[in-house]
Every structure is written in C-alpha cells, then in structure tokens.
Amino acid sequence: MNRRQALHTMMGALGLVSATQVFGASAFLSGALPTAVQPVLAEPEVALLSDLGETILPSTEDSPGAKAAGIGAFMQAMVSGYYTPEEQQVFLRGLADLQQRSQAQFNTDAGSLTPDQRAQLLLALEQDSDADYYRMIKQLTLWGYFASEVGAKQALRFAPIPGRHEGDVKIDPGTKAWANLLP
C-alpha cells in the first residue's frame, strides 16, 4: 500500500465516523434491529418457577425470598432470551419431568404442591445426578435473586458508593456479603 492509498483509506474511515455523528449509528444498522423475544414458558410454568425459587431461597425475618425478587419473570427472560434452543429443550423437558414426579409422588400437579411437598421434591432432585434442569433452576434462582435490587439491598450489604478501599477488614460470623447493583 502506498501513501496515497493509505490516506484515501484513512479519509474514508474518518468520513464514516463523522457520518455516524451526524446521522446517528442507527442509520447504518437498519437491518440489525433487535427482534422481540418470544416467551418460551407459559404463565403457569412461570408461577411454578416462582414457587420453586421461593422454596430454594425462602423469605426470612430480615430478607424477602426469591418470589419477592420476581424470580419467575427473571427465569422466563433468561430461558427465552439467552438459552440456546438445545438448553431450552432441556429446561422444558425438565419441567415436564418435574410434573411427572409430582404426579407420581404426591398425585397432584407441581403447581398445587404445598411448600413442604415442594421441598421434598427438590431434595429428591438434588440427589438425582441426571436432573440437569434442576441445577439450571437453582443457578437461575441464585443468580436472579442476588442480582436483583431486593437481593442486593436486603439480603446483602449494599454499597452504592463504596468509598475508600480497606484491604483488611475484620468480618464477624453472620455478616452479610457486599453487593453492588449494575446501572
């Protein structure tokens, strides 16, 4: 490449950068607009996931549970928007398996289980090495709860402006961990 070609290329790149400032970058991204994400889970499944999340992370006297953090809606968003089609199928087959286990063990729909029955069902799934979907549900519950405002501000110690760095701090047993919410 000679100097004339280099200058021509640089001026073209500079013109493109300037054009995005004048017209906005959306003028160049007309074919890349996001499409609406279709929900993968039905409303009864979202309600069931909320109940399962509340069983995994129940409310205590000083912090609300996973249901208060909107864990069912969080799982809907993650499974629908970020899981691959294969992961979605594992998740959906898992919910069907959960329904079958509920029918076999308690003779009722999983959405109608009492909190104690849900706890028994989840304890059995915890022991089952083939229940990958249960690990998905548990991970999403923990992630969604502690990333939510409810989890960060009430279950953890929230530091909106952390202040100075103190590298060696004495931590007493029972002290809550720190959380920072992303904007």
**Domain locations in the chain as residue ranges:** 43-155
CB 46 within 8 A of CB 137: no
Cβ–Cβ contacts within 10 Å for residue 136, how many? 18
Query: What mean pLDDT is predicted for residues 46-54?
Result: 97
pLDDT (tens digit per residue) in 76-87: 999 999 999 999
Cβ–Cβ contacts within 10 Å for residue 55, how many? 22
pLDDT (tens digit per residue) in 126-164: 998 888 899 999 999 999 999 999 988 888 877 666 667
Residue 31, pLDDT score: 59
